[in-house]
């Protein structure tokens, strides 16, 4: 029994590999933080004249292999056609701050292999991180306060629990000088299947986020107050961007299913531009989905020391000294004081 062999074309083709970051092209999109997913698209084009079973491999370079959603794939690519695959990269929470890179290669029979350019990104470390995850039955209290002038945030939580819960999560992350699409402050809350077990049990408390315009923030404040006897689920996120590509923006999102009382009060005050207020109260059994976006689009005025210039040679002009004198000796003193003020 004879075996037939597949003959390769006399002039083999080649594979082109390109890796692009999903989303808009932003100037500083290379920045990320530990635990944040980066979505890429891996595209492989068959530049030959016959179909290729291409094997795509990720070369992690300076990254950890566990950060990648996949490291090897096989894709059938017809001649002259491109195929794309999504690739997620998630630096773990223990990732050190610094620069990282990886590449993607593609190979196949009867064709020349291809390799992408280096894909580079920078991990910014947290200036503060607090993670809480609770499962069980009983009672507890949580108090958290976070305040940062550099990030323009003030956050406080006061929570009391009595009953049973499958999972309760309260996480906060702070990056004072965030770059790219990184948040200066991020809060993640989640509740799964909370139930009061006896009369008097409840999950109650208040949580507030404030970014004051007086201190350079977006002028937003969100206050939550609640007292529930049952909560099937809660998923909540609050993100504040004080710097970076999304600077002067805050976003609050929550999805809740509960029985009890819930209050939401939100406002944004920008003197001379905006005054927005929202107030909601719920008493009963509800499922709610809320999203509130705050932005400060006011123009920023140039400082003579900014724009690539140097402040080394910049000197404020002394203000003239007013003369309250009526006598000659006093006038002489004021003249000498004026000469001195111009010399410093």
What string of DSSP letters covers 126-139? PSEEEEEEEEEEEE
Give the range of the structural domain holding residue 28, as residue numbers without chain letter.
Answer: 13-123
Mark whether 65 and 112 lie in a shared domain.
Answer: yes
Average pLDDT of the residues of the chain: 87
Q: What digits encode the pLDDT tens for the residues 75-101?
A: 999 999 999 999 999 999 999 999 999
| Gap between the Cα atoms of 36 and 263, Å rounded | 30
The stretch 182-204 carries a mean pLDDT of 96
Residue 210 CA from chain centroid, whole number: 17
pLDDT at 162 over 90: yes
Q: Comparing 47-61, 66-80, 206-220, 313-327, which segment has the lowest mean pLDDT? A: 313-327
> How much of the chain is in helix, strand and coil states, percent to nearest 5?
5, 55, 40
| Gap between the Cα atoms of 43 and 89, Å rounded | 16
Mark whether 158 and 283 lie in a shared domain.
Answer: yes
The stretch 69-79 carries a mean pLDDT of 96
In a domain, 319, yes or no: no
pLDDT at 225 over 50: yes
> H-helix or E-strand containing 259?
strand 249-270
Mark whether 134 and 240 lie in a shared domain.
Answer: yes
Q: Comparing 11-25, 86-100, 131-145, which segment has the lowest mean pLDDT? A: 11-25
pLDDT (0 to 100) of residue 168:
97
Mark whether 176 and 36 lie in a shared domain.
Answer: no
| DSSP letter for each residue of 37-88 | -EEEEEEEEE-SSS-EEEEEEEE-TTS-GGGBS-SEEEEEE-TT-EEEEEEE
| Gap between the Cα atoms of 253 and 333, Å rounded | 65
pLDDT at 27 over 80: no
| Gap between the Cα atoms of 1 and 194, Å rounded | 70
The stretch 237-243 carries a mean pLDDT of 93
pLDDT (0 to 100) of residue 325:
55
In a domain, 318, yes or no: no
In a domain, 228, yes or no: yes
Mark whether 209 and 65 lie in a shared domain.
Answer: no
| Gap between the Cα atoms of 18 and 38, Å rounded | 16
Tokens linked to 135: 């499962």
Mark whether 157 and 189 lie in a shared domain.
Answer: yes
Higher pLDDT, 308 or 66: 66
Q: Are strands 128-148 and 114-115 parallel, antiparallel or unpaired?
A: unpaired
The stretch 10-38 carries a mean pLDDT of 88
Residues listed for the chain: 344
pLDDT (0 to 100) of residue 214:
79
Q: Can you list the alpha helix ranges (DSSP code H) found in the chain?
A: 328-343
| Gap between the Cα atoms of 145 and 269, Å rounded | 23
Q: Which of helix, strand or coil describes residue 266? A: strand
DSSP β-bridge partners for residue 83:
44
pLDDT at 140 over 80: yes
At residue 214, φ and ψ (nearest 5 deg) are -60, -35
Mark whether 154 and 252 lie in a shared domain.
Answer: yes
| Gap between the Cα atoms of 138 and 196, Å rounded | 10
Region for 272 from its dihedrals, namely left if φ exceeds 0, alpha if ψ lies in -120 to 50, beta otherwise = left
The stretch 16-41 carries a mean pLDDT of 90
pLDDT (0 to 100) of residue 8:
76
Mark whether 133 and 119 lie in a shared domain.
Answer: no
Out of 68, 94, 123, pick the residue that ends a domain: 123
Q: Can you list the alpha helix ranges (DSSP code H) found in 87-127?
A: none
pLDDT (0 to 100) of residue 246:
87
Q: Which of helix, strand or coil describes residue 285? A: strand
pLDDT at 301 over 90: no
Mark whether 188 and 255 lie in a shared domain.
Answer: yes
pLDDT (0 to 100) of residue 341:
47
| Gap between the Cα atoms of 121 and 156, Å rounded | 33
pLDDT (0 to 100) of residue 335:
64
| Gap between the Cα atoms of 312 and 144, Å rounded | 43
The stretch 333-339 carries a mean pLDDT of 59
pLDDT (0 to 100) of residue 344:
45
pLDDT at 298 over 60: yes
Tokens linked to 261: 């009382």
pLDDT (0 to 100) of residue 273:
82
CATH number for the domain that contains residue 61: 2.60.40.10
Residue 18 pLDDT grade (very low, low, confident, very high; cuts 50, 70, 90): very high
The stretch 226-237 carries a mean pLDDT of 97
In a domain, 6, yes or no: no
pLDDT (0 to 100) of residue 299:
67
DSSP 214: G
In a domain, 328, yes or no: no
| Count of domains forming the chain | 2
In a domain, 170, yes or no: yes
**In this prediction, what percent of the chain has a pLDDT beyond 90?**
68
DSSP 240: E
pLDDT (0 to 100) of residue 310:
46
Residue 278 pLDDT grade (very low, low, confident, very high; cuts 50, 70, 90): very high
| Gap between the Cα atoms of 78 and 86, Å rounded | 19
The stretch 154-172 carries a mean pLDDT of 96
Q: What digits encode the pLDDT tens for the residues 1-11?
A: 445 556 777 77
Mark whether 224 and 282 lie in a shared domain.
Answer: yes
Mark whether 246 and 115 lie in a shared domain.
Answer: no
The stretch 281-306 carries a mean pLDDT of 80
Mark whether 139 and 279 lie in a shared domain.
Answer: yes
| Gap between the Cα atoms of 287 and 257, Å rounded | 4
Higher pLDDT, 244 or 266: 266
């Amino acid at each position: 029994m004879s075996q037939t062999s597949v003959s390769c074309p006399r002039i083999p083709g080649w594979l082109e590999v390109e890796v692009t970051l999903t989303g808009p092209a932003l100037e500083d999109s290379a920045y990320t933080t530990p635990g944040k997913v980066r979505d890429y698209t891996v595209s492989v084009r068959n530049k030959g004249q016959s179909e290729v079973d291409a094997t795509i491999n990720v070369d992690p370079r300076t990254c950890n292999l566990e950060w990648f959603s996949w490291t090897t794939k096989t894709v059938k690519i017809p001649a002259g056609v491109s195929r794309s695959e999504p690739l997620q990269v998630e630096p773990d929470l223990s990732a050190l701050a610094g620069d990282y890179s990886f590449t993607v290669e593609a190979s196949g029979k009867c064709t020349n292999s291809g390799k992408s350019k280096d894909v580079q990104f920078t991990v910014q470390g947290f200036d503060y991180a607090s993670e809480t995850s609770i499962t069980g039955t009983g009672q507890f209290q949580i108090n958290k306060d976070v305040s940062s002038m550099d990030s323009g945030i003030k956050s406080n939580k006061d929570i009391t629990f009595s009953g049973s819960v499958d999972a309760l999560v309260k996480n906060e992350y702070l990056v004072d000088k965030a770059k790219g699409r990184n948040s200066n402050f991020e809060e993640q809350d989640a509740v799964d299947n909370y139930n009061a077990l006896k009369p008097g049990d409840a999950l109650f408390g208040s949580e507030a986020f404030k970014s004051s315009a007086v201190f350079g923030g977006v002028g937003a404040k969100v206050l939550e107050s609640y007292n529930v006897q049952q909560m099937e689920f809660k998923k909540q996120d609050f993100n504040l961007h004080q710097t970076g590509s999304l600077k002067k923006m805050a976003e609050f999102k929550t999805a809740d299913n509960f029985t009890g009382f819930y209050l939401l009060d939100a406002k944004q005050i920008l003197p001379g531009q905006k005054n927005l207020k929202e107030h909601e109260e719920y008493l009963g059994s509800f499922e709610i989905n809320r999203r509130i976006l705050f932005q400060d689009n006011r123009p920023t005025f140039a400082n003579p020391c900014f724009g690539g210039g140097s402040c080394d040679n910049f000197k404020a002009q002394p203000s003239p000294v007013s003369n309250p004198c009526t006598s000659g000796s006093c006038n002489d003193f004021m003249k000498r004081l004026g000469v001195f003020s111009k010399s410093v």
